[in-house]
Structure 1
């Protein structure tokens, strides 16, 4: 068997959007797929079809991890390569990332063939280099960018694969979900960065209005978001904050009529389980690349806000107008449209 090491080192949503590319590589019958992910992408990678082995290394220039660039980091990458012994490595990156630093570590570790997309010269680091904006279009959805990279490496999805995001759902349903009725809406108020957050009091009003209209509403969030989910759920929603791991969250999302969520990992998880999404999308990154992919979406937010395209993690504009301008009634109307569309 050939071994391919796929490298995607950033967050949950980024890893989920690499799923179609993973399946394309795994579709080769003679190929075993190993993935190197970062700590923030580990739980998502465990849900992706097509990964035979997963290894986790925190890379500080990709996501904020509490470690320096030092000999120990080099040793961690070496250990993965020594164990995997890949025939080639394919580095998947977003438009704002360079594959060259990790390519250097992989080369020093002995990987014989390394492939990736880079606008920078890469002699000696990438055996095949594809130039974003030249070899393939730059302003395309992230799943299509990942697919373009592996397609250039010689891997394609089989005809029966729809190219959408998919995850493997856990076989066991958490007892927590027994509290949910047959029909419900999920509201996920948290986001990785404050610049992408819809205000909590707006979310709480969305939950109240949905409940007033006869919808059951489940509010999801991580352990660190319990205070937020309790505030948003109030007395009208079902607070699931901190009660579900990522697999359990996927099951909760899979049963929802609609998911209301910002531009954050669970938006892509909702897309991966095929749910319609009301996307409260901050202007700091382009929706052409990062909006939920392959499902019906109502995209809400002020696209021409002054923060557009800044990739800011803290909103640089007083009042956070790109999202605060979206009234809760507008969100509820979007939910109703998606439900009516079936």
Structure 2
């Protein structure tokens, strides 16, 4: 049995997929248990390397009643708090980044999130880890719409949330050009999505936020014509399904969290990487991205 710890957000789960696949390659004869949040369990089931999902909460002890696993891997952070979570399972082998009391590969703050975890597994377990192995299986559910242009205005923190009125202007431009525009988001983002729809002159039927399950959202992204969003989980879903995307970065450099260098993924950024990703005010770098820049990028992908 191998246990992999990754109980974070949607983008965190998806950027960890190549490393999870590398762990599977390192221990092909063992069941792989992914410890992640209950909310992400349905998506975790779409990762072909995962045999079982263990509900987990960030930095909380795992509810593990099995024997000590042969291997436990911390894909949560640089430690030591997250290291303790997996060490408490008393695995035969423990893989973490180096921190006091825990030997392992060195953590580099300026490393891309995908490559960081691939390197941990590659150096720690002696297997190749492909950072481009980001693909996710398409869920076996019917999406509420196919072939739509998806506008996703939400983000976990205000610092990474481009202004709603600018998203509305982009959505209006897309709708005026004849595209089927839908506004996506989670239940907590429905008011924001409705405001964007109103500003774009769209009806409430264009708002998918708060009406789709996690798997329905994934299925919708998997068939999208294009996705436009900030630096948030839906951008990583577009990457996982190789759908065209325009991603707006602000406080965090795309060199750390951006999509792979594929022609269908366009990144807009005017920052220096010194912003606060958990900021409570719009990041100045994100504020410098204009509506015209976003519509021009979308025009390139929709041409």
Map of 1:184-203 to 2, 5 A cutoff?
184-203=148-167
State which of 118, 122, 147 in structure 2 corresponds to 1:147.
118
TM, length-normalised to structure 2: 0.88
SS at match of 2:96: strand
State which of 273, 298, 303 in structure 2 corresponds to 1:335.
298
Alpha-carbon offset, residue 59 of structure 1: 2.5
CA distance in 1, matches of 2:267, 2:88: 44
Residues 225, 105 of structure 1: alpha-carbon distance in 2 compared, 3 angstrom cutoff = closer
CA RMSD in angstroms comes to 2.4
State which of 100, 106, 110 in structure 1 corresponds to 2:90.
110
The question of whether the paired residues in 1 share the 8 Å contact of 2:72 and 2:87 is answered with no
Aligned residue-pair number: 297
State which of 68, 71, 74 in structure 2 corresponds to 1:91.
74
Residue equivalent to 1:259: 227
SS at match of 1:121: coil
CA distance in 2, matches of 1:164, 1:147: 10
The question of whether the paired residues in 2 share the 8 Å contact of 1:268 and 1:293 is answered with no
SS at match of 2:72: strand
Name stretches of at least 5 consecutive residues in structure 2 with no aligned partner.
none
Residue equivalent to 1:308: 274
The question of whether the paired residues in 2 share the 8 Å contact of 1:253 and 1:270 is answered with yes
Alpha-carbon offset, residue 255 of structure 1: 1.4
Residue equivalent to 1:269: 237
Residues 23, 105 of structure 1: alpha-carbon distance in 2 compared, 3 angstrom cutoff = closer
Name stretches of at least 5 consecutive residues in structure 1 with no aligned partner.
61-72
Map of 1:162-311 to 2, 5 A cutoff?
163-174=132-143, 176-177=144-145, 180=146, 183-234=147-198, 235-236=201-202, 238-282=206-250, 284-293=251-260, 295=262, 296-304=264-272, 308-311=274-277
CA distance in 1, matches of 2:28, 2:86: 25
Residues 188, 37 of structure 1: alpha-carbon distance in 2 compared, 3 angstrom cutoff = same
Q: Give CA-to-partner distance per residue, 1:300-338, whole Å, 9 cap, x none.
A: 13214xx724333313xxx64322222212211101112
TM, length-normalised to structure 1: 0.79
Alpha-carbon offset, residue 277 of structure 1: 1.2
The question of whether the paired residues in 1 share the 8 Å contact of 2:148 and 2:179 is answered with yes
Q: Give CA-to-partner distance per residue, 1:232-259, whole Å, 9 cap, x none.
A: 1233372111111121111111112211
CA distance in 2, matches of 1:277, 1:117: 32
Residue equivalent to 1:36: 35
CA distance in 2, matches of 1:140, 1:275: 25
Tell me which moved more, 188-197 or 249-258: 249-258
